[in-house]
A and B are shown apart, each in its own frame.
Chain A
Amino acid sequence: MAPSFDTLTEQDLHEEEEEEIDFSDLKEQYEVKVEEGLDTFVVIDGLPVVPEDSRQKLVKFLLRKLNTVGQTSEDAVYMPLNDKGMSEGYAFVEYETPEQAVAAVKQLHGVPLDKKHILSVNKLMDIERYGREGRVEEEYVAPEVEPFKEKEHLRSWLGDPNARDQFALYRGDKVGVFWNNKSNPPENVVDRAHWTQLFVQWSPKGTFLASVHPQGVQLWGGPSFSKQKQFPHPFVQLIEFSPLEGYLTTWSARPIQVEEGQPILTYEEDGKNIIVWDIESGKPLRSFVSHDLAAGPADDGEVQPKKKVQWPAFKWSADEKYVARMLQGQSISIYEVPNMNLLGKTSVKIEGVNDFEWSPATVTREGVKQYEQLLCFWTPEIGSNPARVAMMSVPSKEIVRTRNLFNVSDVKLHWQSQGAYVCVKVDRHSKSKKSMATNLEIFRVREKGVPVEVVDSLKDTVINFAWEPNGSRFVLITNGENPTGAAVPPKTSVSFFASEKKGITAGNFKLVRTIEKKTSNGIYWSPKGRFVVVATVHSQSNFDLDFWDMDFEGEKTDADKDLAANLQLMKTNEHYGVTDIEWDPTGRYVVSSASVWTHSMENGWNLHTFSGQTLSDNPTEKFKQFAWRPRPPTFLSKEEQKQVRKNLREYSKEFDEEDKYAVDIANTAVVETRKRVLNEWLAWTRREKELLAEEKEAFGLPEEADSPKLAKDAPVGGDSEGDTVVEEIVEEIIEETEEIIG
């Protein structure tokens, strides 16, 4: 199957086939010519029947209603009279644009005019189309209910007996889904050419694989990766799933042009860039025109730099009940899902707002009983007002905590995965604006009053920061002093922070260790915490991957004894040209990859264990993308998980045995194949030899015909001029002794 988007639906296929048949003659004969330009007309029925003299009054009264949805005038309303000089109870109205006519049908149909009369508004075209006799079947035919078809199990991959993980691999024109088999070659599930045009993306819980085509987005799922849902957003470029896989946001730089006959998109979507889709129904919830981020200030004499796309444009609250979008410098619009109405009917006006982030989990603050979602935003210094970081509770839109900051050049908001902390990374400049430094303002969200802890021991700017998932530790990378103009890559320092041990709640954050003179720029935490890979990616000259353990089970140095961490470097690997690093969802494996999207040298992917042991190298031509299939959160309760952890030894015994068995089987298989191959080869050579001997006989050649001694006209051996002496120096070690001097 070549799953190009054109052939995705049966329906489309049939349409194409019909196109090919030439029935223009029939068309001409039977086609009903609908007059052009009638799109702006609507027919209003259900009006009171009035005599001629009060007609004017009625029209004026009616116009008040009509003008609420569009532009029309008294001249554009035609209310015909019958022989008796009475109106017929209907009127024709012309609007200025077809969109207004559509709006009138949508909004005024079924609306009461007064106590006795209810308007029925239809497009004139629709009356033409369906109102005539014979156009619509007289008798009602119940729509046929399609027979029930069992759909594929969308989570079948979780039932793998060995709990292996899947991944998608995009290289060349082909996309494949594979099972990870540790150091053995991965097992293929599906492999299809031209499966996607731009990239592939898993949904956050791994249910769907999305492929992106000029015609739209297609979701695939189930054991055979069959078509699941389709979202026809033309020329879509970016997609984003909501955290619980309920919705999908798609974006295209080109505004959507809706053509007639499009079953899913309507005039609503015309001219928009962003569509928020409901995945279950496959229908758009609402569409938007994208706001571009303000571009940086143009340098003198240069062209205004290109505007940036704000992506993800819509940010989801953790429970998918709200989705919000920021209009930079002005406001945040929070929409309620799924009706997509603005929360409280208005956007939240925040002067200068620069960025915001939802809490990635639903947090319960101490002393707060009612349901809430939290979001954090910041505004820069405006005039003499200080910069501000604030936390807002939704749906109440109440500001629960703010903090003022001075000398701010930039702020980044980092939520911890459980929403327990927000780290506000504040890049500050000195008064002279010559030197920069970074402060960390850490909001402890769960504690009463949301106390803020400040880490201001950093002398340099922080270029990367990452919280430990579900933990209270973090890693950051600072940029050291750089000799300007030097060709060497910038040196960076990696710092590890952990909280002090203090009862149940985490104590103050303290520096565990700083590693100087690195070139690292990427931090990749294991999804289960504890292990972290710090790497240099997208570099021309450094490609190191450091595998760190934050809870090393060995001796702890005295300096660290009060900290909830024991840092240990487990291994350092190199992967030439590495561009991406991704942990598998269970935190057992790490894949480092070098994508052709960035450079074309030694593309491919390497599989490592969590501790940095490299299991396999997979150099791949035109390698583009590697994506682990995410897993949904576990169904085991906390107690059950504890139980598993307690009995880990028992389990691992079992698994070790299984592994050993598998290795044995594999080894036997290898030996068997080798035996077979060797025997085949020996048989082949034996047969060739016999055939060769036969042919020699047929040619009348002696058995040693090919021997060099019998070569034609060989010169007389033992040349009379004497033998040449060839001097050959052979070195041989006779004895080796080791002496210790001094």
Chain B
Amino acid sequence: MRPILLSGHERSLNQIRFNRDGDLLFSVAKDKIVCAWWSANGERLGTYAGHQGAIWTVDVSPNTVLLATGSADNTVRLWNIKTGECVKVYDFPTAVKRVAFSPDGSQLLAVTEKRMGFLGTIVVIDIAYGDGQLGNLEQQADEPSLRITCNESKATVAGWSYLGKYIIAAHEDGSVSQYDPKVRQHRVYVTGERFLTPDQTGEQLENVQAHEFDHQINDIQFSADRTHFITASKDKSAKLMSARNLAILKTYPADTPLNSASITPKKDYVILGGGQAAMDVTTTSARQGKFEARFYHKIFEDEIGRVRGHFGPLNTIDVHPAGTAYASGGEDGYVRIHHFDKPYFDFMYEVEREQLRK
């Protein structure tokens, strides 16, 4: 499994995303530039310039028309992927730590930072796709359709469940919550008369202390059918949870704080990445860092392999939607794309093989 090394960033990577077809890979780093790459050979397709600060997050619309990025310059930008134009800028009072398109691409959520007296929020923006011919993409709603404020502990990452039914957010205190994103009509009775009012609060349906208290959750990523998701936490573990009721299905213990976790389609694995945080690495040798991508079996929770290569903590991992490759972005400023070899697909537990024969 020879990796393709992408050295297009000058600073540490923050997030990488494959598009839905898996032919493109987008990466954002602290150096204010968004890069687009061909995932097959690692050739750089282009960049999207315009942000004024470190870019924390990126997501691709399911149809690969729009690209959303969130940055420390307190903006979310929408880009025309094909032309590289910035089609829309949303301003926020604080930095944006995570953006995510809903499964059908009609909405975008953005997680904003808690800072300077502003509480952390999760906002939902309706997204339009112009005339269907890549024209009129500038025509977007100016205001978010929903705003969820995190009063207790700020949300660090968030994403959409199956059908866009819930917003799942993970928090700084190690808890995971489920919100209802639907703008629903509530019946309100005032002196016997019935009114219909739109309820815009984004009610919190559930909150589960999934990880150790006060250990931040750094990433959540969903399975292909979005019925379950994986969290990666500073408490050195990753958990597989049900999107429906936030039940903890599996736990993957690691020996280092985790920054990212991903579920592989096609094979039942998960990939975890992390490593000692840059500020905690003091006088230690490279062996201390544990800068490896770890593969666990999703169902049996056993560690089955590691991939080395980065010389800094792994900040972000994404898996090709077809399950044929994965990419990792590190504190060292590199993105590594690994296309899986045959043994990866052949590996199977005896019980799985039996199951298959039945």
Query: Contacts of B225 on A, CB cut-off 8 Å?
Result: 688-689, 692, 706
Query: Contacts of B255 on A, CB cut-off 8 Å?
Result: 619
Known: A671-B350, A674-B351, A715-B132. A705 touches B287 (CB 8 A): no
B244 close to A688 (CB less than 8 A)? yes
Task: Kindly state the separation between the CA atoms of A696 and B103 in the bound complex, as whole angstroms.
Answer: 13
Tell me if A699 is interfacial: C-beta within 8 Å of chain B: yes
Known: A677-B300, A688-B244, A726-B23. A708 touches B284 (CB 8 A): no
B287 close to A711 (CB less than 8 A)? no
Interface positions, chain B 88-113, Cβ under 8 Å from A, are 103-106
Task: Kindly state the separation between the CA atoms of A675 and B349 in the bound complex, as whole angstroms.
Answer: 10
Tell me if A83 is interfacial: C-beta within 8 Å of chain B: no
Chain B min CB distance to A225 (Å): 28
Minimum CB distance partner of A682 in chain B: B355
B352 close to A708 (CB less than 8 A)? no
B40 close to A708 (CB less than 8 A)? no
Chain A min CB distance to B289 (Å): 11
Query: Contacts of A711 on B, CB cut-off 8 Å?
Result: 20, 61-63, 104-105
Chain A min CB distance to B88 (Å): 16
Task: Kindly state the separation between the CA atoms of A713 and B104 in the bound complex, as whole angstroms.
Answer: 10
Minimum CB distance partner of B39 in chain A: A726
Task: Kindly state the separation between the CA atoms of A601 and B40 in the bound complex, as whole angstroms.
Answer: 40
Task: Kindly state the separation between the CA atoms of A63 and B116 in the bound complex, as whole angstroms.
Answer: 86
Known: A705-B104, A706-B103. A716 touches B351 (CB 8 A): no
Binary per-residue interface labels of chain A (714-742) against chain B in the complex, 1 for a CB within 8 Å, 0 otherwise: 11100000000011110000000000000
Tell me if B129 is interfacial: C-beta within 8 Å of chain A: yes
Which of A601, A678, A691, A692 meets B351, CB within 8 Å? A678
Tell me if B226 is interfacial: C-beta within 8 Å of chain A: yes
Tell me if B162 is interfacial: C-beta within 8 Å of chain A: yes
Candidate in A674, A696, A716 with the most chain B CB atoms within 10 angstroms: A674
B106 close to A712 (CB less than 8 A)? yes
A713 close to B23 (CB less than 8 A)? no
Tell me if B133 is interfacial: C-beta within 8 Å of chain A: yes
Chain A min CB distance to B1 (Å): 13
B129 close to A713 (CB less than 8 A)? yes
Task: Kindly state the separation between the CA atoms of A589 and B329 in the bound complex, as whole angstroms.
Answer: 43
Task: Kindly state the separation between the CA atoms of A375 and B47 in the bound complex, as whole angstroms.
Answer: 83
Task: Kindly state the separation between the CA atoms of A619 and B352 in the bound complex, as whole angstroms.
Answer: 31
A681 close to B63 (CB less than 8 A)? no
Known: A671-B350, A711-B104, A712-B104. A684 touches B249 (CB 8 A): yes
Task: Kindly state the separation between the CA atoms of A131 and B176 in the bound complex, as whole angstroms.
Answer: 74
Minimum CB distance partner of B106 in chain A: A712
Binary per-residue interface labels of chain B (126-155) against chain A in the complex, 1 for a CB within 8 Å, 0 otherwise: 001110111000000000000000000000
Tell me if A695 is interfacial: C-beta within 8 Å of chain B: yes
Known: A576-B287, A619-B255, A712-B105. A706 touches B226 (CB 8 A): yes
Query: Contacts of B20 on A, CB cut-off 8 Å?
Result: 708, 711
Tell me if A602 is interfacial: C-beta within 8 Å of chain B: yes
Query: Contacts of A576 on B, CB cut-off 8 Å?
Result: 287
Minimum CB distance partner of B240 in chain A: A681
Task: Kindly state the separation between the CA atoms of A472 and B284 in the bound complex, as whole angstroms.
Answer: 43
Interface positions, chain B 19-38, Cβ under 8 Å from A, are 20-21, 23, 38
Query: Contacts of A309 on B, CB cut-off 8 Å?
Result: none
A715 close to B134 (CB less than 8 A)? yes
Minimum CB distance partner of B247 in chain A: A684
Task: Kindly state the separation between the CA atoms of A727 and B40 in the bound complex, as whole angstroms.
Answer: 8
A706 close to B162 (CB less than 8 A)? yes
Which of A677, A678, A695, A708 meets B21, CB within 8 Å? A708
B63 close to A708 (CB less than 8 A)? yes
Known: A674-B351, A684-B249, A729-B41. A695 touches B163 (CB 8 A): yes
Query: Contacts of A696 on B, CB cut-off 8 Å?
Result: 163
Tell me if A570 is interfacial: C-beta within 8 Å of chain B: no
Which of A601, A674, A689, A692 meets B284, CB within 8 Å? A601
Tell me if A701 is interfacial: C-beta within 8 Å of chain B: yes
A716 close to B62 (CB less than 8 A)? no
Task: Kindly state the separation between the CA atoms of A691 and B245 in the bound complex, as whole angstroms.
Answer: 13
List residues of A whose CB falls within 8 A of some B CB: 576, 601-602, 619, 671, 674-675, 677-678, 681-682, 684-685, 688-689, 691-692, 695-696, 699, 701, 705-706, 708, 711-716, 726-729
Give 9 CB contacts A-B under 8 Å.
Answer: A619-B255, A674-B300, A678-B299, A688-B244, A706-B104, A706-B162, A711-B105, A713-B132, A729-B41
Q: 14 extra interchain contacts, Cβ-Cβ under 8 A, other than A678-B299, A706-B103, A726-B23?
A: A576-B287, A601-B288, A671-B351, A674-B351, A677-B300, A678-B352, A688-B225, A692-B225, A695-B162, A708-B20, A708-B62, A712-B106, A713-B130, A729-B41
